[in-house]
Amino acid sequence: MFNVITIDGHKAVVSFDPEIEMFRGEFIGLNGGADFYASDVAGLMREGAVSLRTFMEVCAERGIEPRKNFSGKFALRISAQTHEAAVLAAAAHGMSLNQWAADVLEQAAGAENPKPAQEAHPAPRARKVRAREAEHA
């Protein structure tokens, strides 16, 4: 995945800040902010480990769960045209919009442990045709 590093099992997004000419890392999936800066990759890894360790220590002292819990649900705002196109694409694959969008997001995000893709169900019309063929067989 682009611009993502792993430090002690935790993922951080890395960007370059041209104003200070340094790399900035920010851990994702934590219940608070834990960012770090360095001018090179080795420094980024070192500073990230320090930032993460400090964050974890503060969480432990305060009795706070350090990791954010994700529900698997979120709202998505898109244009009406994109919504219509997505419904059409989902139907063409014999899937609900929710399942189609989940599959597309898993592929785009490069999910490490995505659920196995469900086999596309035949479109309702195809099922009716097959049912009629079975009746005449």
Alpha-carbon distance 47 to 35, whole Å? 9
Domain ranges for the chain: 4-62, 80-136
39-57 burial, b if ≥16 CB within 10 A, otherwise e? Answer: eeeeebbebbeebbeebbe
pLDDT at residue 115 is higher than 60: no
Q: Quick one: average pLDDT of 23-45?
A: 95
pLDDT over 50 (residue 15): yes
State the sign of the Cα–Cα–Cα–Cα dihedral 34, 39, 41, 47: negative
Burial class (CB in 10 A: 0-12, 13-18, 19+), 27: buried
- 25 forms bridges with which residues in the sheet? 14, 36
pLDDT given at position 128: 38
Q: Quickly state the pLDDT bin for 120 (edges 50, 70, 90).
A: very low
Q: What is the pTM of this model?
A: 0.66
- State which H helix or E strand residue 114 sits in: none
